[in-house]
């Protein structure tokens, strides 16, 4: 358990020396010597407005400035001040905040936003689970059940102030829909915040990405040099499987790759697109629930297609085959966690070269996150043939398409996503 900001070693020793430094408001320490604890409490209970109003410029000599800045950034993310939050996150990093802690706090913020979205739909079970996840990730040492009740109560109050909660509470809900513009607002916020779950990736990887592009290894020795195109740019010595093993995911919902579909939704809405394709759609749950307002086609193995047509007869489902006779014409194609299952992934990418789309989104596990930097395969998941590191996957996909975005969308699950266009 990481308690980087729980009991800071600087709590007492540095505060004495900090008081006398030039340009520092010495009253800050004497009046707010418990400022870090107050910030933790505000974060724990979800008092985002109070937390975000703290002036971090006045903290430059505070011994706990890095961790306080991180919590203030979390507050700003929750009230939609994304630009200010980004600057504070970078400031917290520069002030020495533990990078793993940054990831945990911003990831916890995503779960809080999802919890609020579920509150709006009166899905209390998922709301409770989301708030529990937020607190467990961000402050695992607190009484989670008690803190969850307090967080949920506070967020309900905030929603009432911001979105006419009394009206929503009295609305006859049809299971999951209430005031589409309100749901869209919170969904968009969740998407915005989820981008910062990849902050660790940006902070740690940006140096070795530029180094890798020059043909060398990145600083810190956290990854091995790239392989060549024959082994899909995976490092030398890595062992892939040589056969396909089918994983039946027809019972899955949105436990995995949720952020990928939320991002696809964001692209569709922002560009006014109307048609989405999910290649390797599994149970179809995410396609229907997150992209269902658009025209959709789900591609799957033939046995699954039969089941999907029975379950969702009003939607279009087709067999996924790498055939030159199959032509896809869509605004956005999602191919989420498919490529790692294929013995020859080149077949998949070659197939997509002949398809029509504005954007195609691939996702796959980042091997370094899910298995560690020393892993040499084969993957722990028996259904995976191989797994790429961040720089390996970027290099591999860039041979085929122009990458317009590459990020880790879920640090806990190790999901990396690339958004591409035709070259």
pLDDT, residue 217, reads 37
CB 54 within 8 A of CB 39: yes
Calculate the average pLDDT of the chain.
78
From the number of C-beta atoms within 10 Å of its C-beta (0-12, 13-18, 19+), residue 141 rates as exposed
Cis before 250? omega within 30: no
Q: Is 170 exposed, middle or buried (0-12, 13-18, 19+ CB in 10 A)?
A: exposed
Higher-confidence residue of 219 and 65: namely 65
pLDDT value of residue 150: 87
266 close to 188: Cβ distance less than 8 angstroms: yes
Note the maximum CA span of the chain.
76
pLDDT score at 278 = 97
Q: What value does the mean pLDDT take over residues 360-389?
A: 92
What is residue 302's three-state secondary structure? helix
- Which CATH code, of 3.40.50.150, 3.50.50.60, 3.40.50.720, 3.10.450.50, is assigned to 223-421? 3.40.50.150
CB 255 within 8 A of CB 285: no
What is the C-alpha to C-alpha distance for residues 311 and 300, in angstroms, rounded to an integer?
Answer: 14
Mean pLDDT of 135-159: 86
Q: Between 254 and 12, where is the model more confident?
A: 254
Confidence of residue 184 (pLDDT cuts 50, 70, 90): low
- Give the bridge partners for 363, in sequence order: 336, 417
pLDDT at 180: 53
Could you state, in order of their start, the residue ranges of all structural domains in the chain? Answer: 1-171, 223-421
pLDDT at 403: 96
The overall pTM is greater than 0.75: no
pLDDT reported for residue 160: 63
Query: Would you state the pLDDT for residue 181?
Result: 53
């Amino acid at each position: 358990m990481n308690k980087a900001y729980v009991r800071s070693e600087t709590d007492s020793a540095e505060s004495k020396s900090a008081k006398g430094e030039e340009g520092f408001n010495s009253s800050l320490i004497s009046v707010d010597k418990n400022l870090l604890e107050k910030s933790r409490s505000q974060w724990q209970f979800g008092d985002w407005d109070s937390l975000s109003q703290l002036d971090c410029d006045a903290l430059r000599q505070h011994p706990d400035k890095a961790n306080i800045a991180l919590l203030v950034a979390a507050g700003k993310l929750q009230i939609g001040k994304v630009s200010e939050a980004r600057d504070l996150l970078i400031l917290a990093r520069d002030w020495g905040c533990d990078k793993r802690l940054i990831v945990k706090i911003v990831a916890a913020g995503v779960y809080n936003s999802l919890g609020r979205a579920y509150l709006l739909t009166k899905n209390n079970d998922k709301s409770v689970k989301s708030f529990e996840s937020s607190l467990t990730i961000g402050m695992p040492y607190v009484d989670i059940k008690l803190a969850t009740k307090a967080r949920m109560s506070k967020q309900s109050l905030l929603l009432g102030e911001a979105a006419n909660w009394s009206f929503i509470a009295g609305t006859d809900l049809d299971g999951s829909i209430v005031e589409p513009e309100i749901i869209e607002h919170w969904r968009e916020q969740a998407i915005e915040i989820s981008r910062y779950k990849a902050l660790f990736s940006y902070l740690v990887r940006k140096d070795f990405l530029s180094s890798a592009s020059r043909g060398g290894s990145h600083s810190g020795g956290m990854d091995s040099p790239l392989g060549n195109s024959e082994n899909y740019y995976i490092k030398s010595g890595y062992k892939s499987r040589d056969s396909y093993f089918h994983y039946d995911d027809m019972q899955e919902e949105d436990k995995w790759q949720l952020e990928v579909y939320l991002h696809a939704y964001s692209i569709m809405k922002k560009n006014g697109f109307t048609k989405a394709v999910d290649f390797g759609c599994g149970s179809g749950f995410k396609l229907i629930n997150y992209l269902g307002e658009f025209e959709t086609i789900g591609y799957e193995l033939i046995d699954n297609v039969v089941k999907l047509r029975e379950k969702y007869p009003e939607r279009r489902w087709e067999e996924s085959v790498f055939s030159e006779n199959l032509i896809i014409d869509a605004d956005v194609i999602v191919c989420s966690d498919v490529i790692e299952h294929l013995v020859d992934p080149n077949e998949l990418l070659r197939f997509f070269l002949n398809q029509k789309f504005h954007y195609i989104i691939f996702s796959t596990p980042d091997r370094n996150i899910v298995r560690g930097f020393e892993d040499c395969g084969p993957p722990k998941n028996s259904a995976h043939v191989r797994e790429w590191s961040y720089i390996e996957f970027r290099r591999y996909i860039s041979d085929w398409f122009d990458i317009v975005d590459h990020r880790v969308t879920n640090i806990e699950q190790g999901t990396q996503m690339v958004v591409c266009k035709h070259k």
